[in-house]
Chains A and B, each alone.
Chain A
Amino acid sequence: MKLKIFVTLKPGVLDPQGKAIQHALGSLGFAGVDDVRAGKLIEMQVADETTDAQIDEMCRQLLANTVIENYRVERA
C-alpha cells in the first residue's frame, strides 16, 4: 500500500519559510498572494496489512512533531 503523509504547521504557528516564499512571489510580480504555508510530503510504501493505528503511531512518534505540526494521511 502506498501512503502519502502531509505534514503541515499548525494554524497560529509562524512559518518563516512561508513568509519568505510569499515575499518572493510578490517580488516576481504575482499580486494578491497571501498566507503561504510550507509543509512536507512524505511518501512511503507499507505492507498492506499495516493498520491505521500503526500509521498514526508512525506519524506521532516520528514523522510529525505534534507540538507544532499536524498530519494527514492519504492511502493510494
Chain B
Amino acid sequence: MKTAVIVFPGSNCDRDLAVALEAVTGVKPAMVWHGDSELPEGLGLVGVPGGFSYGDYLRCGAIAARSPIMRAVVDSANKGTPVFGVCNGFQVLAETGLLPGALMRNRSLNFVCRDVDLEVANTDSAFTRLYEQGETIRIPVAHHDGNYFADAETLDRLEGEGRVAFRYAEDVNGSARNIAGLLNEKRNVLGMMPHPERRIEAAHGGDHGRRLFEGLLEMVGA
C-alpha cells in the first residue's frame, strides 16, 4: 500500500508516522512538503502528522490547514482516500473542516504527556475494524491543545452516527464527552489526539496502536 506523510514546518512526528507506516506496509511513505500542491497517485493513506505546524501561530493547525497541499488532501479525502490526522494532524483536519468541531487549549492549561487508556468506541471504519468494540487500549498523548469542543447538537449527531472512534477512559484534557478520536461522515477520515504510531512494537512499551494501521492495510490492500 502506497502512503504519504505531509510535512509542515514545525511537524515533529512525521518520521514516527513514516516509520510506523513502513513497518506495517513494507513500503516507505512519500514525504510530501506543505508547499506542494499535488499528492502522489494511488495512495492508500495520507497521514497528517503531529507537531507544531507553523509554530501553532494564530490557532493550532490554522495556517497548515490553508497550505497548498491541504487543498489536495481535502480533495483526495472527498474522493474517498483514507486520511489519518494525529495530534496536530487532528487539529489541522478540524481546521480544514474535514472533521467537525475544534481543539482548544487543555482545560488544565498544562501540556499533557503520558500514557492514557482509550476506549474503542466504534469499530466500523478501516482504522478501527481490527479492535473490539469497547476494548481498552493504552496509547500515549502529548499535547497542549487537545480539548475537543463542538456544540451539543453536533456532539449528539456525532454520537448518533457512531463517529466517535476513541474516547478517553478518564478526563485527560477537558474534551467534550471525552472524545479522543473522530471519524468523518464517510468514515475515511480519522483524527485523534493520542499517538498510535508511537505504539506499534513491544520496544515502544506496547503495540496497541499497530492494529489501526494493519486494519487499513487489510482493507485497502497491498
Contact = CB atoms under 8 A, between A and B. Distances in A.
Contacts of A26: none
Contacts of B106: 16
B97 to A, nearest CB: 9
B202 interface: no
Interface string B45-70: 00000000000001100100010000
Interface in A12-36: 13-14, 16-17, 20
B104 A68 contact: yes
Contacts of B149: 13-14, 67-68
B102 A16 contact: no
A73 interface: no
Contacts of A14: 104, 107, 149, 174
Nearest to B104: A68
Nearest to B101: A67
Interface residues of B, number: 19
Interface residues of A, number: 11
Given A14-B174, A16-B174, A65 B107 contact: no
A67 B174 contact: no
B107 A16 contact: yes
Contacts of B108: 16
A20 B147 CA distance: 16
A17 B108 CA distance: 9
Nearest to A64: B59
Contact of A65 (B62, B105, B109, B147): B62
A53 B147 CA distance: 32
Nearest to A10: B151
A62 interface: yes
A63 B59 CA distance: 9
B109 A67 contact: no
A50 to B, nearest CB: 19
B150 A65 contact: no
Interface in A46-60: none
Contacts of A63: 58
Contacts of A20: 109
A3 B150 CA distance: 30
B174 A65 contact: no
Contacts of B58: 62-63
22 contacts: A13-B104, A13-B149, A14-B104, A14-B107, A14-B149, A14-B174, A16-B104, A16-B105, A16-B106, A16-B107, A16-B108, A16-B147, A17-B109, A62-B58, A62-B66, A65-B62, A65-B95, A65-B102, A67-B94, A67-B102, A68-B104, A68-B149
The 3 A-B residue pairs with the shortest CB-CB distance, nearest first, are A67-B102, A68-B102, A16-B109
Interface of B: 58-59, 62, 66, 94-95, 100-102, 104-109, 147, 149-150, 174
